[in-house]
Structure 1
C-alpha cells in the first residue's frame, strides 16, 4: 500500500536564498517525477526556520531502496547541504493518492501524539469516537490522521493533520464543547506536540 513521507528540515539560512528556493522547487519536480506522487513543502508558523516535506511512495522500500541512493536525490542533497539540516524523516500509513490531508486550508495543524503500544487500541477508540466532532469544527476543511509506519522503539506515534482558517481556530476547538469527547485522548497518550504550518511554494 502506498505511504506518505513526512520529513522535517532546519534551514541554516535566516532567509532562504534564491538558489535555495530554486533547489526546493527542483526537489518538488524531481521527486514527484520519480515517485509519481505530489511533493509539498510546509513552513512552520511557530518557528520559521523549520520546514516539513510531504511526499508519497509506493512503499518504504521504494523510497529508501531506490530514491535515496539515486543520482537525482544525491545531486539535490548536495545542492542543499549548506542550506538545510535534516531533523527527522519517517512514513505514515496515509495513501498519498487519497488527497485526504487538507492542504487547501490557509493553516494546517500538525499534531503528533506519542502513545504507549499497550494503549494503541484505546487511543483509536477514543479518536474514532471524537473525530466526527472534530470534523464538524474544522469544516469546510477536513482532517487526516494515521500511525507512523517506521517507529522508533516500542512506542507508537499518531500524526493528525487538521485544516483551519487561522491558528486561533485550532486553539478555539480545544476550548469548545466539541472537544469534550475528543479531549479524552489525553488519558491515552504519553505526550503531544502541536504545530502549525502553511503551504510553501518557494516563489
Structure 2
C-alpha cells in the first residue's frame, strides 16, 4: 500500500551552511530517485531550526527496509550527522500519487490530532461533516490528511495539512462561523499540535 512519510528534523545551527545545504539537497534527490516519489522540505515558521520532510513510498517496508538500510542513505546520513538531528518519523495512510498537500500555499499548517482508539470512529464522522467548511475557508488552497500507521501506544493520530495565505488566516478560521462545525472534533481529541511551515528548497 503506498504511504506518505513525514519526518521532523532539527538543524543544529540557526541556518545551514552551504555544505549542509548541498548535502540536504543531495539526500533529497537520492530519496526521490529511489522511491520514485518527490521528497520535499518544509521549514517551520515557529522555530526555523526545525524542518519537515515528506515523501512517498510503495510501502512502509520499502522505506524502512530497503531505503533506510541502503548504502546510499547511510552515506547521506553520515554526511549530515553533525548538522541535523532527527526528532521523529512515521508514515501516514495517504497515497502520495493522489495527495493534495497544498504545495502552492504561502503557508501550510501541519496539525497533529491525537485521538483515543475508542473515539476514532466518532472523530472520523465529525471530521467528515466538518472538513468541507475548512475547505471552503482555505480555498483556493487544498488540504490533505491521513491516519498515522506506525503508532506509539494505543492512541490514534491524524495529521492534517491545510493551506493558508498567512498564519493569521489560520487563527482567524478558529474564530469564524465556519469553524463551528469543524471545531466539534475537539470534543473527541486527547490533544493537538499545530505548526506552520513554508516549502523550503535550499537552493
1:146 and 2:146 correspond = yes
1:32 aligns with 2:37: no
Deviating above 3 A after TM superposition, structure 1's stretches of 4 or more consecutive aligned residues are none
Aligned to 1:60: 60
1:101-150 CA distances to partner (integer Å, 9 max, x unpaired)?
Answer: 11111100000000000000010001000001100000000001110011
Q: Is residue 112–residue 159 contact of structure 2 (8 Å, CA) maintained in 1?
A: yes
**For the residues of structure 1 that align with 2:27 and 2:139, how far apart are their CA atoms?**
32
Count of aligned pairs between the two proteins: 203
For residue 20 of structure 1, report the CA deviation from its aligned partner: 0.5
TM-score, scaled to structure 2: 0.99
How far apart, in 2, do the equivalents of 1:122 and 1:23 lie?
A: 44
2:5 alignment counterpart? 5
CA distance in 2, matches of 1:68, 1:195: 27
What is the Cα deviation at residue 99 of structure 1? 3.4
* SS of corresponding position for 1:53: strand
Instruction: Report the Cα distance in structure 2 between the residues aligned to 1:15 and 1:159, rounded to whole angstroms.
Output: 27
User: In structure 2, what is the Cα distance between the partners aligned to 1:145 and 1:37?
Assistant: 18
| Residue ranges of structure 2 left out of the alignment (5+ in a row) | none
Match of 1:196, SS state, is strand
The secondary structure found in structure 1 opposite 2:170 is: helix
In structure 1, runs of 5+ residues without a counterpart are none
**3-state DSSP class of the match of 1:56?**
strand
Please give the root-mean-square deviation of Cα atoms over the aligned residues, in Å: 0.6
Return the TM-score normalized by structure 1: 0.99
